[in-house]
């Protein structure tokens, strides 16, 4: 019932601007009249070269219509884009506000912040794309149907789609990494369960794997420890956050697992298995602990594998190895952290021909368009080898800018609605990184079903506007309290067994039931759209 209402409302919302503007219908009438449609060849979207303006920048690189792949896209589709942000601009926010205050919107708009784009949509600056996708974008539509996480990211909570996001083919994000050379040195096997990991970390602590005669090893460490010190509660299937199970949102500190997990983590900390400075070490911690040959195990991105190359001379035999997530106390192997789609582009309400633009958006999801935006122009930036794999040309690989930067100057992998291929990423990965990717991508069953995007240790859900303030208010009281208690238990300054009943009561007093309820609503909306 609720969903039908949302769909109906969004139908009205979309019908109105199209009828009012009329431009979409005109284009469709023209192209179906036969006079122009018959002349379209190859990947052409319109019969005559047509230019649209675009507001888009990424990493201080404003859109440049001269970029190789965008010129090529124009030649193939007859749709050309003209950036409106000056090349000298290095302040996206300023440029965005300038555009809004001028009252003149570009035909196509992308921005770094999804929430800001969706707000622009609700304010009438971007048009809802739902019906346009349905009628003119079969490739986007098919991709949404096959990829729930992507579809969920597309929808704003008013039921409209205001932007087509950028998606990634790879699912895996963070991996469990362990010093394989330390395992070998101590004659240990790769740990496959949380108990085996405990034994290995204990050996790292006690048996001097770095061979300097000093008990200085830091077995388990994390450069993200200051922002999410509860990450290692995952080992026992818990956290200090919300987490859905069987369709029901839970707040994990209230679940049975929590006390067990915290007690184990506190024990590990007390026994010196965890970095004593985990709460404060900060982003440089990984560099420091690996280059000084002290760190043994961590949960981190593909870049953790880069040290095998960068430290090869300094620390002979140094080898970080990606391993499967250790099974928890119930034997389940789970990886909570996965990639999330990110912001892309939408069509402004001042665009006079949204139908052509949505067809151009759709082109990016065709095999041809995706190849162009991932790899560039065949023969120019890449070739297919005898096995059908993409190889970047010497021009790219030997560029003074470095391959990635060179590809960026071709306009490849810009912040648009597209699918980033795994192969694009593999082309720049070290051997260790590829091994990590291949291991985790071969086990999608490790990733929980129906789990919304999970970033920096928390679910990314969109809250209905009328509930968001209430939710934030409750959590602004609960979060610091939970963090403070968790830290005191882990550091051993207080005992969770003694505190727990009072802790639970305090959570109820601060409104945790209502916060769970609101999260359940947000979660069901997410599920309904996926």
Cα 346 to Cα 356: distance, rounded to the nearest angstrom: 13
- When asked if residue 210 is in the footprint of Ca ion (CB under 5 A), the reply is yes
- Give the shortest CB-203-to-Ca ion separation in angstroms: 12
Q: Which range, of 115-123, 205-213, 468-476, 488-496, touches Ca ion by CB under 5 A?
A: 205-213
Binding mask 6-45 for Ca ion (x = CB under 5 A): ----------------------------------------
- Give the shortest CB-54-to-Ca ion separation in angstroms: 56
Report the residue number, 91 or 292, with the smaller CB distance to Ca ion: 292
Report the residue number, 203 or 436, with the smaller CB distance to Ca ion: 203
- When asked if residue 293 is in the footprint of Ca ion (CB under 5 A), the reply is no
Cα 219 to Cα 205: distance, rounded to the nearest angstrom: 6
Burial profile 172-194: b = 16 or more Cβ within 10 angstroms, e = fewer = bbbbbbbbbbbbebeebeebeeb
- Give the shortest CB-209-to-Ca ion separation in angstroms: 7
Binding mask 157-196 for Ca ion (x = CB under 5 A): ----------------------------------------
Among 28, 72, 208, 470, binds Ca ion (CB under 5 A): 208
- Give the shortest CB-287-to-Ca ion separation in angstroms: 19
How many residues at the interface with Ca ion, by CB under 5 A?
A: 5
Give the CB-side neighbour count of residue 1, counting CA atoms within 13 A. Answer: 0
Cα 440 to Cα 435: distance, rounded to the nearest angstrom: 9
- Give the shortest CB-213-to-Ca ion separation in angstroms: 7
Q: Which range, of 195-203, 207-215, 283-291, 353-361, touches Ca ion by CB under 5 A?
A: 207-215
| Range 40-44 contact pairs with CB under 8 angstroms and sequence separation of 24 or more | 42/76, 43/76, 43/77, 43/363, 43/366, 43/368, 43/369, 44/76, 44/77, 44/78
* Sites for Ca ion among residues 47-86 (CB under 5 A): none
Report the residue number, 140 or 289, with the smaller CB distance to Ca ion: 289
- Give the shortest CB-329-to-Ca ion separation in angstroms: 30
Report the residue number, 205 or 415, with the smaller CB distance to Ca ion: 205
Q: Which range, of 88-96, 204-212, 344-352, 359-367, touches Ca ion by CB under 5 A?
A: 204-212
Q: Which range, of 4-12, 182-190, 201-209, 400-408, touches Ca ion by CB under 5 A?
A: 201-209
Residue 347's H or E segment, with its range, is strand 342-347
Report the residue number, 67 or 204, with the smaller CB distance to Ca ion: 204
Nearest to 65 by CA among 94, 45, 87: 87
Nearest to 45 by CA among 346, 350, 344, 364: 364
* Sites for Ca ion among residues 211-240 (CB under 5 A): 212, 214, 216
- Give the shortest CB-207-to-Ca ion separation in angstroms: 9
Report the residue number, 195 or 208, with the smaller CB distance to Ca ion: 208
- Give the shortest CB-182-to-Ca ion separation in angstroms: 10
Strands, E assignment, 7-107? 50-55, 57-58, 61-62, 79-83
DSSP string, 234-286: GGGT--SSEEEETTEEEEGGGSHHHHHHHHHHHHHHHTT-B-TTTTT--TTHH
- Give the shortest CB-214-to-Ca ion separation in angstroms: 5
Torsion of CA 21, 26, 28, 30, to 10 degrees: -170
Torsions phi, psi for 107 (to 5 deg)? -65, -40
List for the chain the helix, strand, coil content (%; round to 5).
50, 15, 40
Report the residue number, 208 or 277, with the smaller CB distance to Ca ion: 208
- When asked if residue 292 is in the footprint of Ca ion (CB under 5 A), the reply is no
Contact 460, 452 (CB under 8 A): yes
- Give the shortest CB-322-to-Ca ion separation in angstroms: 24
304 token code pair = 């953790």
Cα 342 to Cα 413: distance, rounded to the nearest angstrom: 12
Which residues contact Ca ion by CB under 5 A? 208, 210, 212, 214, 216
């Amino acid at each position: 019932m609720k969903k039908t209402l949302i769909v109906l409302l969004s139908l009205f919302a979309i019908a109105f601007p199209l009828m009012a503007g009329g431009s979409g219908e005109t284009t469709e009438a023209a192209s179906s009249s036969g006079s122009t449609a018959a002349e379209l060849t190859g990947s052409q979207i319109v019969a005559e070269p047509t230019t649209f303006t675009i507001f888009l920048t990424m990493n201080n690189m404003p859109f440049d219509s001269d970029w190789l792949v965008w010129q090529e896209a124009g030649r193939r589709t007859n749709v050309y884009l003209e950036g409106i942000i000056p090349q000298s601009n290095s302040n996206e926010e300023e440029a965005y506000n300038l555009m809004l205050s001028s009252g003149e919107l570009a035909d196509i708009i992308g921005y770094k912040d999804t929430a800001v784009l969706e707000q622009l949509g609700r304010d009438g600056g971007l048009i809802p794309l739902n019906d346009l996708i349905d009628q003119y974008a079969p490739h986007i539509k098919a991709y949404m149907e096959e990829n729930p996480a992507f579809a969920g990211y597309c929808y704003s909570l008013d039921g409209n789609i205001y932007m087509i996001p950028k998606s990634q083919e790879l699912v895996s994000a963070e991996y469990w990494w362990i010093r394989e050379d330390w395992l070998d040195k101590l004659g240990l096997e790769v740990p496959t369960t949380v108990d085996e990991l405990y034994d290995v970390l204990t050996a790292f602590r006690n048996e001097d794997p770095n061979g300097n005669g000093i008990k200085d090893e830091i077995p388990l460490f994390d450069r993200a420890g200051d922002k999410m010190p509860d990450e290692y509660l995952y080992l026992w299937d818990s956290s200090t956050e919300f987490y859905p199970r069987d369709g029901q949102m839970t707040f994990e500190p209230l679940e049975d697992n929590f006390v067990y997990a915290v007690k184990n983590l506190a024990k590990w900390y007390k026994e010196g298995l965890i970095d004593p400075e985990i709460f404060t070490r900060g982003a440089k911690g990984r560099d420091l602990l690996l280059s000084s040959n002290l760190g043994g195990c961590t949960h981190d991105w593909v870049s953790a594998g880069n040290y095998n190359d960068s430290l090869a001379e300094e620390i002979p035999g140094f080898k970080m190895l990606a391993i499967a997530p250790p099974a928890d106390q119930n034997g389940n192997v789970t990886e909570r952290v996965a990639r999330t789609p990110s912001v892309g582009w939408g069509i402004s309400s001042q665009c006079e021909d949204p139908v052509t633009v949505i067809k151009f958006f759709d082109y990016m999801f065709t095999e041809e368009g995706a190849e162009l935006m991932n790899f560039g122009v065949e023969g120019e930036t890449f070739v297919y080898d005898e096995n059908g794999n993409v190889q970047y040309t010497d021009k790219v690989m030997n560029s003074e800018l470095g391959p990635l930067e060179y590809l960026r100057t071709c306009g490849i992998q810009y912040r648009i609605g597209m699918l980033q291929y795994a192969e694009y990423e593999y082309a720049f990965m070290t051997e260790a990184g590829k091994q990590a990717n291949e291991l985790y991508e071969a086990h999608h069953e490790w990733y929980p079903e129906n789990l919304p995007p999970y970033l920096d240790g928390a679910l990314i859900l969109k809250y209905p506007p009328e509930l968001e303030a209430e939710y934030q208010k409750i959590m602004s009281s609960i979060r610091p309290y939970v963090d403070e208690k968790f830290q005191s238990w882990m550091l051993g300054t207080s005992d969770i067994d003694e505190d727990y009943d009072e802790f639970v009561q305090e959570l109820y007093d601060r409104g945790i039931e209502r916060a769970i309820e609101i999260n359940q609503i947000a979660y069901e909306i997410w599920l309904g759209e996926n």
